[in-house]
Structure 1
Amino acid sequence: MAALAGDARPITGKDLCTALALLDERRANLVSHRTRLINQLHALLRDLGIAFTAPAAGTAVTTLGYPVQAPFDGRSLRRCWTSAIAVDRSSANALTMPCAMTPGSSGGPWLTGFNPATGAGTVVAITSFHDERGLLSGRQLDDVGYALYQAADRTSA
């Protein structure tokens, strides 16, 4: 049985051992890289809390994102802050704040108690959409978010 090399040449029996050794080395490198990335992520998230109940209307919130639509380019982290979020009852109780971030910022965290110097804060919602009124909207991490968090925690242990 012949396998194909990158240049589509058949791998002979003699080359098969070399190919398997290279594949094993690549697998080990990927595992090592994954471990480094996970450790970096843990270091970044160490100071973040998470809340599964919505903050009260009037709470100060910071949101972060990488907007891609002009005037932004999606390459740099942007931040919006409000001293008092609002709750939009007409949009399934979405949290809202005035913010110039454009599409691409979806999925970014909404943080209470955010410290720009350390990056610490508590995630209370995730950016969902930006509307024509200039409001950025976020969805709270509710019971569904909590169940997902618990399931992910169980599988990572």
Structure 2
Amino acid sequence: MQAPFRGLALTALGSATLLSSVLVPASSASASTDPRPVVRALATTADAQSRVGSLWTAARMRSAVPMERLLYFGGPARGTVAPQAYPDKGSAWTGGGQVVKSTGRVFFTYQGRAASCSGSAVVSRNESTVITAGHCVKLDGAWHSDWVFVPAYENGNAPFGKWTARKTLATAQWGATEAIQYDIGAAVLNPLDGRSLTDVVGGREVAFNQPKRQPMYSFGYPAAAPYDGSRLTYCSGSTTVAFLLGTIGMACTMTGGSSGGPWFLKFDEATGSGVLNSVNSYKLNLPFLSGNMYGPYFGDDAKSLYDQAQDA
């Protein structure tokens, strides 16, 4: 697939050098005739849930390839990232708090390969909703299978269990054209041992139609060099607005595998809590912007997705 804007090269989130296949102009992004989010049924039976849960052993989770690495050839690794005070461009999160439990790795099968992204448990009426990136539920016209969320993942360990998805969803625009401006997905998870997701790990509040330029924190599990997917990582700083697309950006070195990880407004380092307002999505392969990460703006389309997911 080719990026429709000539000369504007995108990278799937975190990969050092690669061309995008999902950038769509705003005029094309609104081409969908159905404004409702798109829904895909997954592990809806006990047998399916058991099979998917058993599939993701510690070894298989460790071997899962960042989603973006299955699509493109990776580039040269970045240097080691040293911890810094705010702002931060990509350090291991050592602050603890609520974000550790509610953020996790996402694992799924894409075209027969084990792949990974990141996601966040959110407050919802069904107590079972995860927000992630659209390309972490569907890409190139195909929905991912064997989808699980592992909160507080650490080097193959699942301290709060492996939660199978019974449904995954994407915004109407991502479902129709995979427009990067609307790269937002969600999953509705099955109960585990008789309990719902947010009863176990809590969930973050979600906000919509907020100002685009303000201090934010992003989190994820980058798994491409120099990271290995074993630890929760974060970036923080003031956001900018991407030219033409209207997405928001932040200086960040996180790599493939962090896609779908949460961006927070009003983040409190002491408690690890904040209000979710975007997700890790893509990078621009341009010298003066390659150090930035971008996420979709959470407007009315994101709210429609969230509302449908939390009532599913």
Fold equivalence (TM over 0.5) = yes
Q: Select the residue among 38, 50, 69 that pairs with 2:224.
A: 69
Contact 1:101 1:130 in 2 (8 A): no
Aligned length: 121
Percent identity at matched positions?
31
**Which residue in 1 is equivalent to 2:310?**
153
| Counterpart-to-counterpart distance in 1, 2:278 and 2:229 | 21
Q: Structure 1 pair 112/38, CA: closer, same or farther in 2 (3 Å)?
A: closer
The answer (yes or no) to whether the contact 2:212–2:297 under 8 Å persists in 1 is no
Is the 1:103–1:130 Cα contact (8 Å) retained in structure 2? Answer: no
Decide which of 205, 218, 221 is 1:49's aligned counterpart: 205
Give CA deviations for 1:110-129 in whole Å, capped at 9, x if unaligned: 11111123221111111111
Find the counterpart in structure 2 of residue 106 from structure 1: 259
Q: Deviations over 1:73-108 (max 9, x none)?
A: 0110001000x2100123x11100111101111101
Which residue identity is paired with 1:71? Answer: P
Q: What stretches of structure 2 of length at least 5 have no aligned partner? A: 1-46, 51-189
Question: Which residue in the other structure is 2:123 paired with?
Answer: none
Tell me how far apart the structure 1 counterparts of residues 191 and 219 of structure 2 sit (CA, whole Å).
Answer: 30
For 1:87-98, list aligned pairs within 5 A: 87-90=241-244, 92-98=245-251
Does structure 2 conserve the Cα–Cα contact (< 8 Å) formed by 1:54 and 1:125? Answer: no
CA RMSD of aligned residues (A): 2.2
- Cα deviation digits, residues 38-80 of structure 1 (max 9, x gap): 5213x2x1xx2211114332x1010001101100001100010
TM-score (norm 2): 0.36
Detail structure 1 runs of 4+ shifted over 6 Å in the superposition.
none
Check the 8 A contact 1:66/1:76 in 2, yes or no: yes
Secondary structure of 1:39 counterpart: helix
Structure number with greater CO (CA < 8 Å, separation at least 6) is 2
Bigger Rg over Cα? 1
Report the structure, 1 or 2, having the larger helix content.
1
Q: Match for 1:68: what amino acid?
A: A
Distance 1:34 1:131 in 2: 43
Cα offsets for 1:121-153 (capped at 9, x unmatched): 111111111333111001122211111111122
